[in-house]
Structure 1
Amino acid sequence: GIIFFGSQMITRDWIFNEFGCKFSITIDILCTVVSNFQVIVYTVAALSVERYIDAKLSLTLNNKFRTIITITCIVLIWTMGLLMPLP
């Protein structure tokens, strides 16, 4: 998608044929859906692991350590979700 739309912004015209138009839309939708789906799957997996750890180690982990782990997981999940669709 970005190559097609970037060239359109530079030339101020659509230089690709009808196939290029359909292809760019398909790639754009596919990357968006794949990225969102991966973020959802990773989030559910992280929640499952977090619940397991909380049930097993609830008395030994302090709140500051839990907060650091939570923020790290959120950043990693979204980074992976944004990077996975890239070629």
Structure 2
Amino acid sequence: MRWTSALAIYVLFWAFSVFLVLPFGVRTTDEAGGERVPGQAESAPHDFPAGRIALRVTVVATILFGLYYLNYVYGWVTPEMLDWTREG
């Protein structure tokens, strides 16, 4: 695999991991004991620690990409194993 392909796949894993990580650890303003701004949705997060979330996303994406790359190298799961339409 070329390094540019690996980088593109890692970026895809990173983008997917954002949606995987974002819902965890979110506290609303009511849960944090703060005052809501007029017009603020009840479900809006109290604060948004972008650096901490980026770090978590990077860790998750790196683990997932590592598993993907190891599967690419060692062939643990191949397309033939996932072809359930084939007989035999």
So what's the TM-score if we normalise by structure 2? 0.41
Higher fraction of helix: 1
